[in-house]
Amino acid sequence: MKIAIGSDHHGVAFKQKATVLLQSLGIDVVDVGAHSATEPCDYPDSAKQVGHLVSTGIADRGLLICGSGVGMAITANKFPKVRAAVCDSVDLARLTRQHNGLNVLCLSGNQWKQQDLLPVVQAFVETEFEGGRHQRRIDKIAEIESEVCAARPCAE
């Protein structure tokens, strides 16, 4: 599995810890930045890169960290085939993977203790999409996405 990981300055420290965890699980990590916790940067820059990598299939999944996680999710969801959400618990990470096929996990670099988020990341990578009735719903999301993209150009 290949995971693209990105952050703004609020998420750099956790991104480094998450990278160590992911690599220990045998996952290939593509770090798109940021690399400085003291130099402010804009969350859409990393979210755009991760969204593109997941949307095009270059990365299987993505992990984004900013102050709240919300800006990252909003930006990543602009890309076709990306299903990004903020999850703050192991149960929510598992459920969104199983039922929604979540492929970009967004986290808050400010709201939670970093050690509490590592199990959330692990649940995200170890949980598989259940398919079945959930696939029908994912297909409906893809259909809506296609209709919207047919009406106006969508990012690739």
What residue ranges do the domains of the chain occupy?
2-151
pLDDT number for residue 114 = 63
CATH of domain 2-151: 3.40.1400.10
pLDDT number for residue 151 = 80
State yes or no: pLDDT of 155 exceeds 60. no
pLDDT number for residue 52 = 98
pTM for this model (two decimals): 0.93
Own/partner contacts of 113-121, CB < 8 Å, gap of 24 or more, are 114/13, 114/14, 114/17, 117/14, 117/18, 117/88, 118/17, 118/18, 118/21, 119/90, 120/87, 120/88, 120/89, 120/90, 120/92, 120/93, 121/18, 121/21, 121/22, 121/63, 121/93
pLDDT number for residue 120 = 96
Residue numbers annotated as active site? 66, 99
pLDDT number for residue 110 = 81
pLDDT number for residue 14 = 92
Averaged pLDDT for residues 62-70: 95
87-143 confidence digits (pLDDT tens): 989 999 999 999 999 999 999 988 766 668 999 999 999 999 999 999 999 999 999
Q: pLDDT band for position 45 (50/70/90)?
A: very high
Average pLDDT, the chain: 93
Q: pLDDT band for position 149 (50/70/90)?
A: confident
Averaged pLDDT for residues 15-35: 96
State yes or no: pLDDT of 20 exceeds 80. yes
